[in-house]
Structure 1
Amino acid sequence: MGFQQSFKALSDPTRREILALLRAGPMAAGDIVAHFHVSGATVSHHLSILKEAGLVLDERRGKYIYYELNMSVVDEILEWFTALKGEG
């Protein structure tokens, strides 16, 4: 996982919207799918890309998979932007 993979994942508006949904906390995959007008397979593909980029974590709870933001990677990206901007 590196910045290149993270930025590629962030380049898609659907994936950015998924990340915005996860700001409120962990969500089941089905609950994420319910927010979009695309197939479950399409959302699953987006979640897979976000997971590969390290932006989300997943956890199986019974028969459901819950996704949440991986704040350590988000913080790393924000620190890079802050350094690039010359602050802090």
Structure 2
Amino acid sequence: MQLIFEALSSPIRRKILAYVAHQEMNAGDIAARFDMSKPSISQHLQLLEHAGLVASEKRGKYVYYRQMPDTLASTLTGFVQEICPIGGPLRRESAQNAKDASVKEMQVESGTKGA
């Protein structure tokens, strides 16, 4: 999780994520949108990839990048649940509900009724 938040700490990397959120782009097209050198953008892309926020695929002489939405969504959801004051009680309630449902399912399968 730490790598993801470090990657998101940069406005440039957040902009890159916005560009690749709905379409993949090659590194050159991404770099063209910034007033920075291509090697600098490449470093940002590598950091995003290392954090698992983007994936790259080399096709011919170009490297294409796309956002990995599951990684970002899962991390942010987990983070929000950790810091949210009602997150803990809701997680416990959810775990108890899952346990209760499992017990009921086992009782139905065995032909016994719950109290």
Same fold (TM over 0.5): yes
The structure number with the bigger radius of gyration is: 2
2:49 is aligned to 51
Question: Aligned Cα RMSD in Å?
Answer: 1.5
In the alignment, the residues of structure 1 paired with residue 61 and residue 16 of structure 2 have an alpha-carbon distance, to the nearest angstrom, of: 21
- Tell me which stretches of 4 or more aligned residues in structure 1 moved more than 2 Å: 84-88
1:74 to 69, 72, 75: 72
The higher relative CO (CA closer than 8 Å, separation ≥ 6) is in 1
Output the amino acid matched with 2:13.
Answer: R
In the alignment, the residues of structure 2 paired with residue 66 and residue 32 of structure 1 have an alpha-carbon distance, to the nearest angstrom, of: 10
TM-score (norm 1): 0.89
Q: For structure 1, list consecutive stretches of 5 or more residues without a partner in the other structure.
A: none
Higher helix proportion, which one?
A: 2
TM-score (norm 2): 0.69
CA shift, 1:82, in A, is: 4.0
Percent identity over the alignment is: 43
In the alignment, the residues of structure 2 paired with residue 75 and residue 13 of structure 1 have an alpha-carbon distance, to the nearest angstrom, of: 18
CA shift, 1:24, in A, is: 2.2
CA shift, 1:18, in A, is: 0.3
Q: How many residues get paired?
A: 86
